[in-house]
Amino acid sequence: MTRPFRVTVVGGGPAGLAAAARLLEQGGASVKVRLLTLGHHLGGKASSWRDGEGRLIDHGQHVVVGFYREMKALLRRAGVEPKQHLWSNQGHTYIYEDRDQKVHDLALHRNPLLTLAATAGYTGFTASEIAGITAFVLRTAASWTQLESLEGFDDMCFSAWCLENGLPESVLRTNAFRVSRDGQLNYPGEISAYQLLKALSAFDRGWETCEYGFPDGGMTDRFWDPIGAYLTRLGGELRFFQQAVGLERAGKRVTGLRVGEPDSSGHHEQDQRGPQRALEVKKGSVRVATDFDALILAVPEGCFRRLCEGDDEFWSLPPFERMRALRSVPPLGLQIWHRAPVTKQYQSIIAGLPPPLSFVIDNKPVVREFRDDPRYGSVLYFVGQEAGFEGLDDEALLERCLASLRPLPGFEQIDRAGVLHFAVMRNRGPQGRYWYTEPGTLQLRPTTVTPLDNLFLAGDWIRNELDFPCMEGAVRSGLAAADAALEWRASA
């Protein structure tokens, strides 16, 4: 009897979950899958958990966008209908503009032509800027619609590309423009024109792809745990508190994976109220796993880099040598449970606030348990990126964010006196960071298939169909890694 194809997947985020599901769905009884994850909750950088008092904590405010086709399909196969757990933005994104101190609604419509008209009619732009934007869009139509290759734009920053193609310089100083960069956590630096054009091309296909929804509970509870249960039903094995710390090789094959138990003492306290650190393993817990035929590493680039520290031969291999130049950024989050309500309901996030936390949403009407809890008038989630603001302690960060709300209609009662509790998530450790989509990064990123025959990579930082940071890119990368592993097995 032929022995099953044994695959170890490292990483319990969207990429690892998708890879494990595809292997089990395609391989059936002929494939044995073991998934190792670092913590006690699934979801990776899109996870959620409870603090010591039972409050729901999220790694960050996540959204599920209309073009997340593969992620939604995976959820449905796991028995979850995404629409039942998503608060739709109804096409709205609100942007605060400093120059007139007003909140403007960038509305989308079900009809793409109406959406274009609404964008051109965004009240945060002047009449002359709208004329310049219209001319710019017509001049660059081939790029927006991907009628020409976008990869050649990777070495150019998006701002320079816009100016070269006639976008009025004053538009670049608006928060509406800055939001396009902030959304991929690239401030204070620039973003690759390729990365942003790829993102815009995914959004720019009508209402179905542009609409996005906010989860009505924790991402792990609503989405990732059901997928984990689905993997178990398919015969997969989940192992929590497993930290990969090294690879062992023989020629062009990975022969062993060094795994230990992470020392997570104080981990959650640091997630919430101080700097998250890179986890170390407990003494004496490291073992070498050899019971696999193929290995899929679905971990952030910083974690991957730590796996082979000191292995000069490994890092001399071309794709790995290039990726060492990739940089990452620490996402930052702040959650505030407040006594007072926000008196004006916004259907979506408000963007354009001062960094480091440029986005805010009131999750009181969004998350079911907050909606029904009389203790809270509002539950505010701020998200952004910490680089350049590491010197702000938690209290200073809170005060800065509260001050940023003062010009916003409906937030008049949100002051320090009404704060019941707040939590700061500083994701400085490699397990919580995002790769930095600065110009020139495309050539640095590895592909799913590696120079080692039985090693495959997954994650949104790996080259994939979308090629910009998002959960859907991670899911598609995981599916591609599983397919590559199955193809390798078939050809071996």
pLDDT at position 396 is 97
Whether the per-residue pLDDT at 147 is higher than 70: the answer is: no
- The total of other beta-carbon atoms located within 10 Å of residue 167's CB is 21
pLDDT at 210 > cutoff 50? yes
Look up residue 3 and give its DSSP letter.
Answer: P
Band the pLDDT of 408: cuts 50, 70, 90: very high
Please report, rounded to a whole number, the percentage of residues in the chain having pLDDT higher than 90.
72
Listed residue (275, 279, 277) closest to 391, CA to CA? 275
Q: Superfamily for 5-51+66-80+218-327+435-491?
A: FAD/NAD(P)-binding domain (3.50.50.60)
Residue 119's pLDDT is 63
Name the β-bridge partners of 361.
Answer: 381
Q: What confidence score (pLDDT) does residue 146 get?
A: 66
Domain spanning 331-426, CATH class: alpha beta
Measured in Å, how far apart are the chain's first and last C-alpha atoms? 18
Please compute the mean of the pLDDT values over residues 329-333 and round it to a whole number: 93
Choice among 31-40, 75-84, 137-146, 175-184 with the minimum mean pLDDT? 137-146
Look at residue 272 and tell me whether its pLDDT is greater than 70. Answer: no
Average pLDDT over residues 302-323: 90
**Distance between CA atoms of 454 and 489, rounded to whole angstroms?**
9
Query: How confident is residue 221, by pLDDT bands cut at 50, 70 and 90?
Result: very high
Q: What is the mean pLDDT of residues 131-149?
A: 79
- Answer whether residue 126 shows pLDDT above 60: yes
What is the band of 104 on the pLDDT scale with cuts at 50, 70, 90?
very high
Kindly list the distances between the CA atom of residue 13 and the CA atoms of 22, 59, 333, in Å, as whole numbers in the listed order. 14, 12, 19
Nearest Cα to Cα of residue 41 among 71, 78, 15, 12:
12
**d(Cα 471, Cα 475) in Å, to the nearest integer?**
6
- Residue 278 makes CB contacts below 8 A (sequence gap 6+) with 306, 429, 430, 431
Residue-range domain boundaries for the chain:
5-51+66-80+218-327+435-491, 108-206, 331-426
Mean pLDDT, the chain, integer: 90
160-163 contacts at long range (C-beta below 8 A, 24 or more positions apart): 160/190, 160/193, 161/193, 162/136
Q: Which residue has the higher pLDDT, 392 or 112?
A: 392
Question: In terms of pLDDT, which residue wins out, 325 or 121?
Answer: 325
**Which of 227-234's residues contact partners 24+ apart within 8 Å by CB, and which partners?**
227/17, 227/21, 227/42, 227/74, 227/75, 227/78, 227/80, 228/12, 228/17, 228/42, 229/78, 230/21, 230/77, 230/78, 230/79, 231/17, 231/20, 231/21, 231/24, 231/33, 231/35, 234/21, 234/24, 234/25
- Position 149 scores a pLDDT of 84
**Single pTM value for the model:** 0.94
pLDDT > 80? residue 277: no
Say whether pLDDT at 265 is over 70.
Answer: no
In the chain, % of residues over pLDDT 70: 92
